[in-house]
Structure 1
Amino acid sequence: MPAIGVVLFPGFQIMNLAPLTVFEFANLERGDAFYDVTFLSEAGGLIRTSIGLVIETEPFSGRRFDTVLVVGSIQVAPSAPGLIDRLRETAATARRVAATCTGAFLLAEAGLLDGRKAATHWAHARALRRLHPSVMVDDDRIFVSDGNVWTSAGMTAGIDLALALVEDDLGAGMSKGIARKLVVYHRRTGGQSQFSALLDLQPRSDRIQKVLAYARGNLRNALSVEELAEAARLSPRQFSRIFREETGQSPAKAVENLRLDAARTMLEDGRHSLDTVAQETGFADRERMRRAFLRAFGQPPQVIKRNARHHEAVPIT
């Protein structure tokens, strides 16, 4: 029975516990208590989350865990030296170590990320790089595994990490079944970007939001200014002015970013040819898509597709 020790500390963010549902459902799918989850803290007792929920924990006791999972917090601050010492000791006997969100900072403080690749919430990646220069921070990945150390980006990315851990233990079929039960995408590859074109735009008005939804659902169309303006029920000139005011981008640039977002997702999924991706996302041909990818990502679509395939094919130990 793989024992999972979840390391908590005062003020941690409760979303970091969402990945534990993946292990719970693995037990339900198997019909036995395959995973045994224990909450740990430096001194044991009640630990309060950032929103006020209180959780009972056990103190570190020298018990050996298969997996040690460290949670994160909204505000990053130096950890208690005692906690870092206990974490370092417990991790030394674990088969693997993982951290969600800013939990990577605790792993770094314990020296567990020295010389390793690691992910964290994009908003804190620069700080992790500055405070711990020996860590190779990847500020764009959903999750990263380097040897027996796994780290994820912020918030829901921890669920992707947990699904990957279950897949590592029990196979892709189990992980896929759990994802379906949880109604989540199965599963975003570790190489998938944390960023979304729609999130970057964030228009203020419902009118422009509806236009973006229209564009996202009709990427095969030309999506000219005239077509988008008609969807917004505005003149092309008025639409272009309002669109730029609300999003900070021209309609043409926003449409290209939406196409890139969709194309990258399809490439990372790995089931589509380059020609199909180009057609489905409105680039029309591979060469136009290649030029757009080079401008945006500095690498052609073939490289992104190959990297995603490599991530899925190579077993992680």
Structure 2
Amino acid sequence: MITIGFALPPGFQIMGLAPVSAFELANTVAREPLYEIRLLSENGGPLVNSFGVSVDTRALSRQRVDTLIVTGLLRPKPSSPGLIRQLKRHGTTSRRIASVCTGAFLLGEAGLLDGRRVTTHWRWAKDLQAQFPDVHLEEDRIFIIDGHVWTSAGMSAGVDLALGMIEKDFGAELSRAVARSLVVHHRRAGGQSQHSALLDLDAKTDRIQGALAYARQHLRSALTVEELAEAAHLSPRQFSRAFRSETGQSPAKAVEQLRVEAARMMVEQSRITMDEVAAETGFADPERMRRAFLRAFGQPPQVIRRNARLAAA
């Protein structure tokens, strides 16, 4: 049985414990105890989280675990010297050590991230890089594995990290079954972007949201203003005005965001050619897709595919 320890700083954000559900369901789906969970803190005993809920913990210094997952705070702040010493020790005694969200700052204080590729919540990424200049930060990632150190983005990304661990430990079939039990429709690979085009566009009304959903489902189509306006049950003029008012962008720019987001997922997670990716996502040709990637990510699709494969390896 694999022992998973969750190292909790005082005032930890409660969503940092979301990965526990994935490990619990792995036991349920497999019908055998694959994982044991231990909640740990510097001194043990009751520990209050950011929402004022107390959990009972064991003393971190007295535990040996296979995998240590360090949870974060709503806002990163310096940790106690005692907790950092214990994290350093576990960095050498645990088979795997990980962070959820701003837990990366604690691993950084323990010197466990130096020279490694890491990620954290996009809101705190620049602060992490400034505080720990020796890390190789990739702020637009769900989770990253570098050797025995795993780091993940915002709190919900901890579930993706846990599913990735389950896949490494017991195979993809169990990981997919756990994802279905969690009603996670798609287990995000580590290289997937933290950002969502639909979330960034933030349409307010059902009509504009419906048009965006239609566009996402019909990327191979030309997606003209007339076509989108019809999906929204508005005239083209009304649609264009309402769309810009709600999203701050033109329909054409928004469609490009949706296309490039879908294309990036295909580039990172499939082996189909760039010609096929361009066709599937509605770009007229690979060159237009390349230019869109450069605008959105600062890198061409070939580089993004190579980086995703290196991360997977």
Structure 1 counterpart of 2:190: 190
Matched, 1:13 2:22: no
1:37-116 paired onto structure 2 within 5 Å: 37-116=37-116
Q: In structure 2, what is the Cα distance between the partners aligned to 1:204 and 1:181?
A: 31
Moved more, 236-245 or 191-200: 236-245
| Structure 1 position 65, deviation (Å) | 1.4
**C-alpha contact 1:270 1:305 (8 A) present in aligned 2:** no
Bigger drift between 107-116 and 44-53 goes to: 44-53
TM-superposed deviation, 1:271: 5.2
d(CA) in 2 for partners of 1:179, 1:309: 23
- Local SS of the residue matching 1:61: helix
The Cα offsets for residues 179-213 of structure 1, whole Å up to 9 and x where unpaired, read as 22222245322111111111111123333222212
Alpha-carbon shift at residue 152 of structure 1 (Å):
0.3
Deviations for 1:291-313, whole angstroms, at most 9, x for unmatched residues? 3223322333233334434444x
Cα contact 1:270–1:308 (8 A) shared by 2? no
Instruction: Tell me how far 1:90 sits from its aligned partner.
Output: 2.8
Q: Deviations over 1:81-110 (max 9, x none)?
A: 222222222333111110111100110111
Q: Distance in 2 between matches of 1:187 and 1:272?
A: 20
Letter in 2 for 1:213: A
Provide the C-alpha distance between the structure 1 equivalents of 2:124 and 2:298, rounded to a whole number of angstroms: 23
Within 5 Å, which residues of 2 pair with 1:109-188? 109-188=109-188
Task: Say whether the 8 Å CA contact 1:26–1:174 is kept in structure 2.
Answer: yes
Equivalent residue for 1:210? 210
Which stretches of structure 1, 4 residues or more, deviate above 4 A after TM superposition? none
Q: Give the 3-state SS of the residue equivalent to 1:6 in structure 2.
A: strand
CA distance in 1, matches of 2:299, 2:129: 23
SS of equivalent residue, structure 2 residue 78? coil
1:71, CA displacement in angstroms? 0.6
Unpaired runs of at least 5, structure 2: none
1:280 corresponds to 2:280: yes
Query: Deviation string for 1:163-189 (max 9, x for gaps)?
Result: 111222222232222222222245322
Instruction: After TM superposition, give the deviation of residue 123 of structure 1 in Å.
Output: 0.6
Task: Give the unaligned 5+ runs of structure 1.
Answer: none
Letter of the structure 2 residue corresponding to residue 10 of structure 1: P
TM-score (norm 1): 0.91
Instruction: State how far apart, in whole Å, the 2-side matches of 1:233 and 1:179 are.
Output: 36
- Identity between Structure 1 and Structure 2 (%): 60
2:48, 2:114 → 1: CA distance? Answer: 30
- Contact 2:42 2:61 (8 Å CA) reproduced: no
- The one-letter amino acid of 1:140's match is D
CA distance in 2, matches of 1:305, 1:118: 18
Q: Cα RMSD between the aligned structures? A: 2.0
Amino acid of the residue matched to residue 164 of structure 2?
A
Aligned residue for 1:240, secondary structure, equals helix
Shift in Å at residue 280 of structure 1? 2.5
